[in-house]
Structure 1
Amino acid sequence: MERPYDVGPDDKVHPGDPVTVDRYTPAARINHWITAASLVLLALSGLALFHPSLFFLTGLFGGGETTRAIHPWIGVVLFFGFLGLFLRFWRANLWRGEDGTWMRRLSDVLRGHEENVPEVGKYNAGQKLYFWTMSVLIIIMIGSGVVLWDQYFAEYTSVGQKRAAVLIHAVGAVVSICVWIVHVYAAIWVRGTIRAMVKGSVTGGWAWRHHRKWLRELVTGKRDDQGSGAKPAE
């Protein structure tokens, strides 16, 4: 029988008190934290080069010249780090019919009334939006960054292309930082989420409350199309 699209081969339920559910492998967690660290370093080094008032941040990297030299290389690490995450998780982040309903009822989620929204798989609509938004932004950032990387690509680009790339790169960076802040806030706000990326597992209660469809599919080994409907609001 074909495994449900959002259940990974290493996702497992372990009986106990409390029940625990494996959500991320050690390799996936290392991949995530390398990508996250690269994004933070890119933001700091990029802001240091963005405006004179933030130039003091170059001290974190050994000065302005060093910051300018290593910034694009950190971008390369980010690109390949996120590529690893993309290849691991793109299938589980495909948009499903219940995701639109989940977004329309986001206010219920924010108020803690998740019983009024559709049951979701391994990722909810908000997480999927973050995944695909960052996928697009990273492509934009690496593309515009290559145009600006004069050490290797100066002869292949014109002045006009560089000017456009500066604007695109700056806008993309600001949007990326804002999206990342929302992502971190959401991870802190939903208690138990950070544990998944630190320990690799969540409690059965957490999985039942926030990702019930994924848990049901994991236990039964069958895709659950009946769990996608929301319960009516009381």
Structure 2
Amino acid sequence: MSERVYSQSGDRIESVEPVTVRRYGPATRVNHWITATSLVLLLISGLALFHPSLFFLTGLFGGGQTTRMLHPWIGVILFLSFFVLFCRMAKLNLPAKEDATWLSHPGEILSGQEEKLPELGKYNAGQKIVFWAMTVLILVLIATGIVMWQQYFAGVVSIPVRRVATMLHSMAAVLIICVFIVHVYAAIWTRGTIRAMTRGTVTGGWAWRHHRKWLRELARLDRTGPAE
């Protein structure tokens, strides 16, 4: 099953000397950066509307009224873009038996002794947690955001319901900021990871060290061809 997923996603070993592995195609990278840009714009505009001390941030969007108008529409773009990303990546982020072992050895992970841990597929348990946390939080944000969108839904949502939605929206926003920070920090901390989303490829050494099971399966595909 995993070989079929990899063949459909376009992952492959592109060169042998030196070993270069394609991790993300152009469409996935564009999809990712649209999602990331939308999320950053939402965080800035949302914080600007959240507290008077941060209202000055509305100047980046042309003022308070423009920010209030743009914020929900950027949210729609984020939801649609992440939905496409979800369809691309969901299967590869399903839990695997090696994830529990990986999570139970934080010392080896932080010290870079990954050779003592089980071989991993395309994503480790930490990446999977970030993926599913983003999925849940974006669903909460879009659902509560629609309830709060007075321009279109003021007449069908009561004030008490809108107040609850506002509270949940704010809580989800704080949590997704935390998840986003973890995601960015992990990408910077794990050297060579950002290259995957800028150039689409990683080195063979990076793939062997961090995602050896994934590399082995790609090598098997390279020899036998895509699974039927």
TM range, smaller chain: over 0.9
- Point out the more displaced range, 59-68 or 6-15: 6-15
Q: How far is the alpha carbon of 1:29 from its aligned partner?
A: 0.2
Partner of 1:7: 6
| Unaligned ranges ≥5, structure 2 | 223-228
Alignment correspondent of 2:145: 145
- Which stretches of structure 1, 4 residues or more, deviate above 4 A after TM superposition? none
Kindly report which structure 2 residues correspond to 1:76-87, keeping only aligned pairs within 5 A, or say none.
76-87=76-87
- Using the alignment, how far apart are the partners of 2:117 and 2:196 within structure 1? 23
Cα deviation digits, residues 125-162 of structure 1 (max 9, x gap): 00000000000000000000000000011111111101
Where does residue 100 of structure 1 map in the other structure? 100
Partner residue, 1:229 = none
Identity fraction in percent: 60
Equivalent-residue separation in structure 2 for 1:73 and 1:67 (angstroms): 10
Instruction: For residue 16 of structure 1, report the CA deviation from its aligned partner.
Output: 3.7
Tell whether the 8 Å contact from 1:11 to 1:24 is kept in structure 2 after alignment.
yes
Aligned equivalent of 2:33: 33
Match for residue 208 of structure 2?
208
Partner residue of 1:47? 47
**Aligned partners of 1:3, 1:51: CA distance in 2, in Å?**
47
User: Whole-Å Cα distance in 2 between the matches of residues 110 and 18 of structure 1?
Assistant: 27
Deviations 1:42-101 (A, max 9, x none): 000000000000000000000000000000000000000100100000000000111011
Query: Match of 1:4, as an amino acid?
Result: E
Assess, with a 3 A threshold, how the Cα gap between structure 1 residues 110 and 8 changes in structure 2: closer, same or farther. Answer: farther
Query: Structure 2: which amino acid aligns with 1:34?
Result: I
Q: Could you tell me how far apart the structure 2 residues matched to 1:113 and 1:220 are? A: 25
Residues 23 and 201, structure 1, Cα contact 8 Å, conserved in 2: yes
8 Å contact from structure 1 (residues 3, 221) kept in 2: no
**More displaced stretch, 17-26 vs 134-143:** 17-26
Query: What letter corresponds to residue 137 of structure 2 in structure 1?
Result: L
Measure, in 1, the Cα distance between the counterparts of 2:138 and 2:179: 12
Superposition deviation, residue 5 in structure 1: 5.8
- CA shift at 1:221, angstroms? 2.9
Q: Specify which structure has the higher proportion of helix.
A: 2
C-alpha separation in 2, matches of 1:8 and 1:206: 20
- Unpaired runs of at least 5, structure 1: 223-234
Alpha-carbon distance in 1 for matches of 2:182, 2:41 = 18
- Give the Cα separation in 1 of the matches to 2:112 and 2:131: 23
In 2, Cα distance between equivalents of 1:174 and 1:122: 28
**C-alpha distance after superposition, 1:13-37 (max 9, x if no partner):** 1234321001101000000000000
Residue 157 of structure 1 corresponds to: 157
RMSD of aligned C-alpha atoms?
1.3
- Give the total of aligned pairs: 221
Pairwise CA distance, 1:6: 5.1
